[in-house]
Amino acid sequence: MPTEAELDRLYVVLVRARNPNNIGAAARAMHDFGLRHLRVVNDFPVPLESARSAIDASDVLADSAAFPTLADAVADCTLVVGTTAVGERDLQHELLVLSDAAPRICAELRRGNDCSSGAGRVALLFGSEKTGLSNDELSHCNWLLTVPMRQYAEVRHPSMNLGQAVAVCLYELVRDRPRPQSSARNPEGPSANGPQAAADCAPPNPATAADLERLTELLSEVLEKTGYIRRHPANGGPAQLRRLLRRMALDAENTSVWMGILRQILWKVGGA
Amino acid sequence: MPTEAELDRLYVVLVRARNPNNIGAAARAMHDFGLRHLRVVNDFPVPLESARSAIDASDVLADSAAFPTLADAVADCTLVVGTTAVGERDLQHELLVLSDAAPRICAELRRGNDCSSGAGRVALLFGSEKTGLSNDELSHCNWLLTVPMRQYAEVRHPSMNLGQAVAVCLYELVRDRPRPQSSARNPEGPSANGPQAAADCAPPNPATAADLERLTELLSEVLEKTGYIRRHPANGGPAQLRRLLRRMALDAENTSVWMGILRQILWKVGGA
């Protein structure tokens, strides 16, 4: 179970939530499970007045922050996880079920305990009630998680109520899980090569989302200037490039090296 | 993860829920996780019309059943589990955290696969939004579960939103859990003597709640007639007697034996 300091580095980000009751419900679930930082991304002022009536959610809502773009909302985070109901969308990200995703998220939160690493700030994204996260919004994510639900033949887009989805995800994150040492003592057990191992694959000093977004913009400019995008329009959109870079699990150092490389190229092709 | 047939023996029972939106939210969570049987206990007609507007919940609401009393709503069940936020109430029941409670519930549901046992029907009770389950309602339960939440010094009665509590409980019940054999192979692990072992303590052929209620009434009559209640009023209320009997984990045979004994006593003391 994450410590209070670790949970303090977990940000719930509601993207284009339209119903103030749902924002209030999300805030209440955060309060219930000990989270503080709610971020809201909307291109219009959010009517938080009615949300503020949600029982026990006032402290979370009072501290909530509004952002005009998703990139701004996740800029300081070192891991950005999107939630999705999957449906029939053709996902181009790694997708984990919630119970496998939670240990990975907790591992990243733990990394923040070492102040020198600059890591450990996690954004957990929830999309709008109607459409979920768009492909462009998903492209800001390092990977995705989904809550396993019953599949119905007649329902084409299964989805959860927003407040319930937030509650279930946070429950799983703060839920007691088997101690790591017991799975180590039981190497044939199902968890030995599971999510704990995957968590160890993340870079020791990951880049922030803001670094990656700057890198994406630079790369986009380079590809534009070099004529790549004209020849391969399907590969060169901002969403495609974001995914490309976020799949690489770049650390802060590599990111700055790549920035230097791209700036150099850009200067060479006459765009700087 | 419970099979479809097993989930079909799990009943969500909402006791005195007042807000139709919450009933709708509970029904939607049931739909999401593959449950069908919603039971509603209210002493007034429930305004289900507005609940029926809940997305994806219409099939569950259409099949829902209303009961005038809790005893009626759980009469055919062999395990009755109450949910509680604990707070400062002085609970007189065994209390499990949700992650320990779920394997026990699943074990009871599995027992129903053996048609000869008469077991395997579980009621999961949620109380009203304001007060939760009353002490009298709790007395119908075999044991209680709670969702672990952050405790705040300033909040005296922590509680979850009803729809979110239902979603979290059902998520935990259908969630993949470690295989029992892996904990057997790892006898020093934390789960070796955990909930799985506790589940095995339940009787092979448990009494239904209706049987136990009849037994409670008989016992109450006996204690009344024998003067026990006059001398020990604190022990002899209906709620105390229900708890007393439900703690014994009586099976169907023992229950019928006890009925015979109590009827005999009653005849002897002149009340039959």
Domain ranges of chain B: 7-199, 209-269
Burial level of B241, CB count in 10 A (0-12/13-18/19+)? buried
SS3 B209: helix
Q: Which of the two residues, B110 and A206, has the higher pLDDT score? A: B110
Mean pLDDT of B179-193: 35
Residues B31, A150: C-beta atoms closer than 8 Å = yes
Comparing CA positions, the residue from B140, B162, B124 lying closest to residue B17 is: B162
pTM of the model: 0.78
| pLDDT tens digits for range B17-51 | 988 889 999 999 999 999 999 999 988 777 676 66
A172 CB within 8 Å of a chain B CB: yes
A32 CB within 8 Å of a chain B CB: yes
Q: Which of the two residues, B9 and A256, has the higher pLDDT score? A: B9
ipTM, two decimals: 0.75
CATH number of B7-199: 3.40.1280.10
Q: Which of the two residues, A1 and B8, has the higher pLDDT score? A: B8
Mean pLDDT of B104-119: 86
How many CA within 13 A on the CB side of residue B60? Answer: 29
User: How confident is the model at residue B200, as a pLDDT?
Assistant: 36
Provide, as residue numbers in chain B, all residues whose Cβ is less than 8 Å from the Cβ of A176: 97, 99, 148
pLDDT category, B198, cuts 50, 70, 90?
very low
What whole-number distance in Å separates Cα of residue A121 and Cα of residue A266? 31
| pLDDT tens digits for range A186-239 | 333 333 333 333 333 455 677 888 888 898 998 888 888 888 888 788 877 888
Q: Which of the two residues, B188 and B154, has the higher pLDDT score? A: B154
Mean pLDDT of B150-167: 78
Residue A73: both structure tokens together: 């909302």
Q: In what order do the strands lie in the sheet with B10-15?
A: B65-67, B37-41, B10-15, B122-126, B79-83, B143-146, B95-97
CA distances in angstroms from B132 to A28, B15, B125, B127, B138, listed in the order given: 17, 8, 10, 4, 10
User: How confident is the model at residue B256, as a pLDDT?
Assistant: 80
Provide, as residue numbers in chain B, all residues whose Cβ is less than 8 Å from the Cβ of A178: 178, 189-191
User: How confident is the model at residue B195, as a pLDDT?
Assistant: 35
Provide, as residue numbers in chain B, all residues whose Cβ is less than 8 Å from the Cβ of A172: 171, 175
Q: What is the DSSP string of A10-24?
A: EEEEEES---HHHHH
Query: How many Cβ atoms sit within 10 Å of the Cβ of residue A131?
Result: 12
CB A108 within 8 A of CB A64: no
B172 CB within 8 Å of a chain A CB: yes
CATH number of A4-199: 3.40.1280.10
Query: How many Cβ atoms sit within 10 Å of the Cβ of residue A205?
Result: 18
